[in-house]
Amino acid sequence: MRRTAARLADGREIVYFDDTPGAAPRVAVDERDLPRAESVSQIRRDPLTGEWSVLAAFRQTRTYKPPAGLCPLCPSTPGRPTEIPEADYDVVVFENRFPSFSQHAMGEPEPGLVARAPGLGRCEVLCFTSDHTASFGTLSPERVRTIMDVWADRTAVLGALPGVEQVFPFENRGDEIGVTLAHPHGQIYGYPFVTPRTERMLTVARERGGSPMGEVLAAERAAGTRVVAESAHWTAYVPTAARWPVEVHVVPHRQVPDLPALTAAERADFADLYLGVLGRLDGLYDRELPYVAGWHQAPVRLDRELGWLHLQLFSVLRAADKLKYLAGSESGMAVWINDVDPDDLAARLRSAPPRYRR
């Protein structure tokens, strides 16, 4: 894989990752007239819960559901420059033009009842392919292996930046999820704090003297009733206490804190297993399943020995034509009520015919 870093017209970094043999050198220059990248996002700490919220009102102007011919994530063409200056690409990462967090965040920390601080961090966009009509599930295993390497690369890079405490690579897919750009892509957030879900998992791990993931994984593999797929290094299963109508966890058999810690064999093995899982998810309702898929990684500095890397994928589609809405209990009290039995979902996924593989 060849890695090439460059700058966009407003100073944002763009990094190309080429896995195609003989791919042309990345030398195109972004000739757009863009103002210098700045960010005025701010984080504020809720005095009642201790959790941080992010205020980024300038993101209201970000691109919203453009037609395919105006997609900003497709390669540039003569007379139509995009976020990627090149005429083609394999995998590319660049700093988000409308970031929730940035190394250019302005302002000073403000102590007080509601503590405030600039949104120091980093937000990146990761394009999986230049093919606008593709999806993650239609990629080749070799391309997924490249993306695994890119996730690991960016986790290490963002984790070394000032202010970043946790790195979260994720993908949103589908209108029902709220995706505003249809091109197959994901994002990577470098948070300036440890997120609430991770804080809670670490608290449980400290109370138990270690991550309970090992026990959970062993129990799921022994029972087998909720296992969707298994390989030499990974198991995909529906969690017993699933919150979402469709939810799958993909967990490595070896405890590692983050993506950079995976071996080459583990990364390659993930690619084959995950593509099979995505195929069955698309076969569940015989359509592309809208979903969020994100990597839970240990914080950059704290409690790394308590973390256990895993991918969580979930969907709001509770039936082929019905959505799960977050109502009062979920939105107001963070108590999830699931309409789908996890054992039944796992059985249906195991029997679902894989769809949408090219």
Positions marked active-site: 185
Contacts of 275 (CB under 8 A, 6+ apart): 137, 139, 141, 144, 357
d(CA 73, CA 81): 10
Look up residue 100 and give its DSSP letter. S
> Do the Cβ atoms of 44 and 52 come closer than 8 Å?
yes
Torsion of CA 130, 5, 125, 19, to 10 degrees: 40
> Do the Cβ atoms of 234 and 249 come closer than 8 Å?
no
Contacts of 48 (CB under 8 A, 6+ apart): none
Q: Report in angstroms the alpha-carbon separations of 44 from 30, 38, 41, 56, 99.
A: 35, 19, 10, 11, 16
> Do the Cβ atoms of 179 and 156 come closer than 8 Å?
no
User: Among candidates 130, 173, 97, which has minimal Cα distance to 26?
Assistant: 130
Name the residue type at position 147.
I
* Secondary structure of residue 54 in the 3-state scheme: strand
**Side-chain half-sphere exposure of 142, counting CA atoms within 13 A:** 7
